[in-house]
Structure 1
């Protein structure tokens, strides 16, 4: 897909978890609009393949739970691009809940928080001096509707809710340095995490989403490009739902009332 907008000419960007799914779509969108993008991903081979397929993209292995690797990735981006203007915190970890809370392990709980929340902190900490120096710095954190409502996954949901809070506090801290910080909360997105489950996604789209479908990675990439660009130059500390209306509209409540009234009338 090509885009008429070229909002990121001369920009340098770093996308964590950029090798596939939402991260890959974000990388493609920013690069298509003129940015040079560093994919920082734990899967070195997948990052390399994705970068080879996108003009203006490069890749580096990066574990966001390792401060040294995060700082090395940021330094590499600055060296290669001469600037770092956009940071997209997209690294992902989501552990399955144990059947009972008392069976949940510390290890899985800590893993989700370390990747999703503390990983974003590590990346922002390393990148902030460069983002401030650019004069147009922007951080976009990829959250989830799990931060706002119960869709399961205790640790992942807590991490995403914490990320929303960090987005607000970092926005306040970074504003004086000219850096904007915002978050996107996606609903269900068709990624490899749902591989082989197309019937489930179709049922979710029809039954849960007012717009009649689940999201595509490109839906999130478009929102990231907006928040990272000068078009959002007076937006900071915001959380933008990109969820097909999932949280705004309760499709089941009116149907339950209608069914109950129909049964009572019969």
Structure 2
């Protein structure tokens, strides 16, 4: 059951929140009482997401934020503080994934740099801008969206390296920020049904048997994990990676299938 007061009075900024996991996170935290700034490079879509929340009586505003641009990030953080009076929660959802070339050596510097700049360095920019405000509020929390790609091989070299880097950044920043009263954690999702999979229902169905819990994830599954880590229910948790993957990385389903059905 959703706690409609868990984030009462909290100012929240979510990046990459126009759609998918980011939009689900924005909705969940708003439903639990948060005042949410929905940010995205796609401002019209961010505005539509925020408007839909307001139509339900929830507190949400929208702002443009390109995590690849320091000035854009700093402006979004200042907008959240000005609108809500404080910034208590930062959720980093923005990411970029360039499809791998068939041969590793044919990948370009530009594609590699783009994935790392948005997926990893973008989180660094957001945390750097937000941290003083999160520390000032006395209950600050940062939750970033990683991936099982950062834990095991699921392809996408640059994206996976960036997501693995987020795990390290979350741990080192947690160590630094703890003395300032800010917790820092990571959620690592498995396959989640978002617009990235639009028109690929057959592929999602093919993946389903690999998941011990029998399905791929939904954005709401990840939003629930984010809400927990951002809340005071996780007051003694920092520097951790919460894997939310239906058992994918814990159970070698392919091995079990091969053994029992040779």
Fold shared per TM-score above 0.5? yes
User: 1:121: which partner in 2?
Assistant: 124
2:190 paired with 1:187: yes
Map Cα deviations across residues 170-210 of structure 1 (whole Å, 9 max, x no partner).
000000000000000000000000001112212211x2100
Q: Pick from 231, 235, 238 the counterpart of residue 237 of structure 2.
A: 235
Q: Which residue of 1 aligns with 2:216?
A: 214
CA distance in 2, matches of 1:124, 1:87: 8
| Cα-to-partner distance string for 1:142-189 (whole Å, 9 max, x where unaligned) | 000000000000000000000000000000000000000000000000
The two structures, once aligned, show a CA RMSD in angstroms of: 1.0
**Per-residue deviation, residues 45-73 of structure 1 (Å, max 9, x unmatched):** 10010000112111111110100000000
SS in 2 for 1:170: helix
1:26 aligns with 2:25: yes
TM normalised by structure 1 equals: 0.95
Task: Give the Cα–Cα distance (whole angstroms) in 2 for the partners of residues 14 and 244 of structure 1.
Answer: 27
The residue number in structure 1 matching 2:115 is 112
Whether 2:59 is the aligned partner of 1:56: answer yes
Structure ID, larger Rg: 1
1:147 & 1:50 partners in 2: Cα distance? 29
Structure 2, unmatched stretches of 5+, are: none
Question: 1: CA distance between counterparts of 2:108 and 2:218?
Answer: 32
Determine the structure 2 residue equivalent to 1:141.
Answer: 144
- Larger mean CA deviation between 106-115 and 192-201 belongs to 192-201
1:69 maps to 72
| SS of aligned partner of 2:142 | strand
**Which 4+ runs in 1 deviate beyond 3 A?**
none
Q: Which residues of structure 1 form unaligned runs of 5+?
A: 261-266
Distance 2:174 2:261 in 1: 46
Q: Aligned pair count?
A: 258
